[in-house]
Amino acid sequence: MSGAYAPPAVNPTLPVSEKIHLIERHFREIMLALGLDIMDDSLKNTPLRVARMYVNEIFSGLDPLNEPSVTLFENKYRYEEIILEKDIPLYSYCEHHFVPIIGKAHVAYIAGAKIAGLSKLNRVVRYFSKRPQVQERLTLQIAGFLKEKLETDDVAVIIEAEHLCVASRGVKDMGSTTLTASYHGLFEEQEKKNELLHMVHGSGIR
């Protein structure tokens, strides 16, 4: 994988079992510091559950071994227009407070000699989402990775998401949505950008 998209893992080669063990031990200490009874039937296995969830699920994008392959097929139909995978579910975690970012991604590219299997676009979004993130970087990582794998500059990524660090703490502003976009190649031209936005939102808004 190109270094620009590699996860910022301190111990990328640490065995999974050791990662789980370390997180379990430290999370138990957090629970104790909070004054929780870790011998309670409901809580005694929580440190291990959290550790497994962190490593195997919500932060699985930190493991380069989970990087999705992008299968390309010959464009036999000579389709040369926008291909859009719309409303891809997005679940990530804010790296500032480790609380959820929930939203959707719209991923588009202009077909050339090769086209990608549609599910691969979803898998790329999921991979980069499954790590502590900021939305701006997440948007750029998905776009840059797809440009490299699809061998084209004609890629666009739009993300709309709600940040629970805004909704559930701090300002506690429910319903705010953060919108980020990354346009490349032909999508930098206003006509093509408007066409994409019309496909996504049903209008030509900028």
**Which residues are marked as active site?**
94-97, 135, 163, 165
| 155: phi then psi, degrees, rounded to nearest 5 | -130, 145
Beta strands 132-133 and 114-116: pairing type? unpaired
- 3-class DSSP state of 184: coil
The packing angle between helices 46-53 and 16-33, to 10°, is 130
Looking at beta carbons, which pairs linking 198-202 to residues 24 or more positions away fall under 8 Å?
199/82, 199/84, 199/86, 199/108, 200/84, 200/86, 200/106, 200/158
**Contact in structure between 133 and 90 (CB atoms under 8 Å):** no
